[in-house]
Amino acid sequence: MNKILLIGNLGRDPEMSYLQDGTAITKFSLAVSRPARSSGGERERETDWYNVTAWRQLAERCSQYLHKGSKVYVEGRLVQRKYMDKSGVERVSIDVTLTDMEMLTPKNQQPEGAPAGVGGGDFDDLGDLGDHPF
């Protein structure tokens, strides 16, 4: 089983685009804070960053209702991808493919018309989406 659950804040506004076949895809970064200890033993917070990708209707909902700073609960699966950095060195990125999302930002801070929660549904039918440079 490959499943990840995260609660965090968007680090940037979602970016939505469409594949040639009309499939919607939205990408955003998610900052997840966690408690940690400094080398001196003091309590502090560290932040882990995740690249999140949503597909189809969920992509459209994320693009419509989320913005930089939005607090969200996300469920998804981890996807490993390889890419070349600017220096030509091959790197590996671990990304999250979104399967469900719930908005946690207080209602008075959400865009007008946003529902209390936006579910994603079952995405077992994604099939082979091929390699996409994202």
Concatenate the DSSP letters of all residues of 20-33 into one string.
TT--EEEEEEEEEE
> Which domain covers residue 49, as residue numbers?
4-35+43-113
C-alpha 102/C-alpha 62 separation (Å) is 10
Q: State the CATH number of the domain containing residue 13.
A: 2.40.50.140
Tens of pLDDT along the chain (134 residues) come to 999 999 999 999 999 999 999 999 999 999 999 988 888 888 889 999 999 999 999 999 999 999 999 999 999 999 998 999 999 999 998 899 999 999 997 766 655 655 554 444 443 333 334 443 44
- Nearest to 33, CA basis, from 6, 2, 13: 6
* Whole-prediction pTM: 0.74
Residue 129 lies in a domain: no
In this structure, which amino acid lies at residue 86? K
Q: How many domains does the chain have?
A: 1
**pLDDT score recorded for residue 132:** 39
Residue 55 lies in a domain: yes
Tell the burial category of 16 from Cβ atoms under 10 Å away from its Cβ (0-12, 13-18, 19+): middle
